[in-house]
Structure 1
Amino acid sequence: MPPSPLADPQQPSDLLLYRLAKLTASAGRLVTRLCERHYGITRREWGVLMWLARQPGLQPSQLADLLELDRARISRAIASMQAKGLLHKSTESSNRRRAALQLSPAGQRLHDALLPQVRRINTDLVAALDADALQQLDQSLHSLQQQANLAAQDEASDAAFPPRQSGHRQNHLG
């Protein structure tokens, strides 16, 4: 059997991250349409609903980390959801900057209505794989996530790619 093009990518479509992004975009569109057309929320807001239903009382910074979003985007999502009556934000009296988020009853109902439909999209997608392939995919995704986490923490990768100076083009070719 020839080696996988993922091992030695020769074109953009051989790159793992490109293929994962394409898959996420295609499958994610289904969830986005469902959220926006039928429930009036964004996919980002759906992510907030999912996590707060699972872990009430999260802080905005924790949500940002879980959803891989910057603080500005999570703040906009929270403000939008507050305006829609989907969540409540409470602050500690001793530290006004420390906030805890909870779904409102309307937010919980929306989550409970939407979750089975998102699960069905997931089930339909993984139906392309038999049980063994699905188990292997799960293990592979876990291994890839661990490897990505290590690479993100690796100080050497930061040294290999110094930050660009604003407005200046850097020549890294020698």
Structure 2
Amino acid sequence: MDPQDPAKAFELSAFTPYLLNLAAETQGEAFSRIYRERYGMLRTEWRVLFHLGRYGALSARDISSRARIHKTKVSRAVEALSRKRFLTREVSEEDRRVEILSLTPAGYRAFTDLSGAAREFEAGLAARLGAEDLALLRRILDRLASA
């Protein structure tokens, strides 16, 4: 490798955004097996379900903004969760163009189950990394996410 050639000196495997993405994809895929096998959900469906379970009734626009998911993906997830009878849609009294989404009892049970699975998954990460390293990783990721 010629250290004078910047193109050859660049190593993708040491590039922080690449490593962050690889780590996120690896861990996300490992957790996705749980919600996919238990409930036939895709990642965006899980994220929509999580937001409704955690924050209560929201519009699709609210979820899109909070979760940083494109509104068309949220719409598809809402439709899928509605078909699974995990959420209900009610037209907003304040703005008839907006639907307010809420979990059904079945949706809340799925949320509770998957929240427990997420805690177990997180405990597994803590066991692999150690509590101190996991806390450090979270602090670093929080800083990067808010940059």
User: TM-score range with shorter-chain normalisation?
Assistant: 0.7 to 0.9
1:120-140 Cα distance to aligned partner (Å, 9 max, x none): 112212323333323322221
Shift, 1:97, TM fit: 1.2
1:46-77 Cα distance to aligned partner (Å, 9 max, x none): 11111111111111111112222111110010
Total equivalences in the alignment? 139
Q: Amino acid of the residue matched to residue 14 of structure 2?
A: D
Q: Amino acid of the residue matched to residue 81 of structure 1?
A: L
Q: Amino acid of the residue matched to residue 77 of structure 1?
A: A
Aligned position for 1:65: 65
Aligned position for 1:116: 116
CA distance in 2, matches of 1:55, 1:91: 18
Structure with the higher fraction of residues in helix conformation: 2
CA distance in 2, matches of 1:112, 1:131: 24
Shift, 1:94, TM fit: 4.6
Q: Amino acid of the residue matched to residue 26 of structure 1?
A: T
Mapped contact 1:60–1:74 kept (Cα < 8 A)? yes
Q: Amino acid of the residue matched to residue 11 of structure 1?
A: E
Q: Amino acid of the residue matched to residue 35 of structure 2?
A: C
CA distance in 1, matches of 2:81, 2:39: 12
1:21-56 Cα distance to aligned partner (Å, 9 max, x none): 111111111221111122221121111111111111
TM-score normalised by the chain length of structure 2: 0.85
1:98-153 Cα distance to aligned partner (Å, 9 max, x none): 22111001100111122211221122123233333233222212221222xxxxxx
CA distance in 1, matches of 2:41, 2:81: 8
Counting aligned pairs with the same residue, the percent is 27
Which one scores higher on RCO, CA 8 angstroms, separation ≥ 6? 2
Listed as ranges, the matches of 1:4-153 within 5 Å are 10-147=10-147
Q: Which runs of 5+ in 1 are unaligned?
A: 1-8, 148-174
Greater Cα offset, 54-63 or 34-43: 34-43
